[in-house]
Amino acid sequence: MELRGLINSSPIVQTHNLSKSYDGIHRVHQISLIVEKGEIYGFLGPNGAGKTTTLKMLLGLIKPTEGTIKIFGKDLENSRASILNQTGSLIESPSYYGHLTGLENMRVMQRLRNVPNKNIDEVLKIVRLENQKHKQASQYSLGMKQRLGIAMALLAFPSLLILDEPTNGLDPAGIGEIRELIKSLPGQYGITILLSSHLLSEIEQIATSVGIISEGKLLFQGTMEDLRKNNKATIHIQTNDNAKAKKVLHAHDYKPELQEKRLIFEYLDDGEVSRINRILVENNLSVSRIQEHQKSLEDIFLDLTGKERSL
């Protein structure tokens, strides 16, 4: 009974020190991912961070230089076939035969996957392609091609679905549709999802957990809430003479940063804010504003990755 409990609680994906080097350069460096059952795990990082390389390793498409991969609690190396049987994926652009219709493409996949006919109708309905299934895939819009790719990945109703940048290149309406589709999968079909994106806004709207990768390293992993909580607010104080205020406060061991019209402090508790206020007033400075500034998720992400505001 106890053993069963342990098995049930093992993560769906767990890597340990997963690394990949090309020409001696670490492109993925000692990544230890944990994706729990039922999550939508957002793997977030700027272009070239190592997301696709990591996802390809999870699917056995490329071999790690170092580290281990467990999926469904089993070693990928030893149980590759059974793991991949329960895993659906869409990496880079969807592969389909352009001269075949959506339905014919699904039939090809059905034979490969050896699943019942009814799965085709069901997944085409989920991705809302049932009315376009007789159209040639080469004539599909980008969003429809992407949905066909997801339908193929879903065909065997996998326990784990791995999607690399599933909304890349789509217009806002297409992005919204794919987002809603992905969000519905864990609840309706018990599918755990691992998806990558370079867009914080996407991850914010879709993911329950997030892993942030930059230059091959995992900088943060946890829930969205954890990400916000880890970052305390700064306190901004404005006086009639900020340069003098800075000097006075230095003498009391406070080292605020002077920025334009404000003094900026790392997080202070209420007692310290009152004390600083008192010191300033006692030194004939008038305090016109005391504000708490919560970092936006974008600020947090940019602080972590050190990237410019290009996302």
Q: Which residues bind ligand ATP (CB under 6 A)?
A: 22, 27, 45, 47-53, 198
Q: Which residue has the tokens 């829930």?
A: 223
Min separation Cβ 95 and ligand ATP, Å:
17
Q: How far apart are the C-alpha atoms of 52 and 196, rounded to whole Å? A: 8
Min separation Cβ 30 and ligand ATP, Å:
15
Instruction: Give the list of residues 6+ apart from residue 251 with CB closer than 8 angstroms, or none.
Output: none
Tokens of 178: 């794919």
- CA-based Rg of the chain, rounded to a whole angstrom? 25
Q: In sequence order, what are the beta bridge partners of 263?
A: 237, 258
Number of H helices, E strands in the chain: 12, 15
The answer to whether the beta carbons of residues 153 and 118 sit under 8 Å apart is no
Residue placing its CB nearer to ligand ATP in the complex, 23 or 253: 23
User: What are the E-state strand segments in 32-152?
Assistant: 34-35, 40-44, 66-71, 74-75, 87-90
Tokens of 32: 């230890």
The answer to whether the beta carbons of residues 235 and 291 sit under 8 Å apart is yes
CA angle 127, 131, 136 (to 5 degrees): 90
Min separation Cβ 265 and ligand ATP, Å:
36
Residue placing its CB nearer to ligand ATP in the complex, 28 or 245: 28
Min separation Cβ 93 and ligand ATP, Å:
11
Residue placing its CB nearer to ligand ATP in the complex, 45 or 94: 45
Residue placing its CB nearer to ligand ATP in the complex, 49 or 170: 49
Min separation Cβ 12 and ligand ATP, Å:
21
For residue 209, the surrounding DSSP H or E stretch is: strand 209-214
Min separation Cβ 22 and ligand ATP, Å:
3
Residue placing its CB nearer to ligand ATP in the complex, 32 or 168: 168
Residue placing its CB nearer to ligand ATP in the complex, 49 or 185: 49
Min separation Cβ 217 and ligand ATP, Å:
12
The answer to whether the beta carbons of residues 211 and 42 sit under 8 Å apart is yes
Residue placing its CB nearer to ligand ATP in the complex, 61 or 108: 61
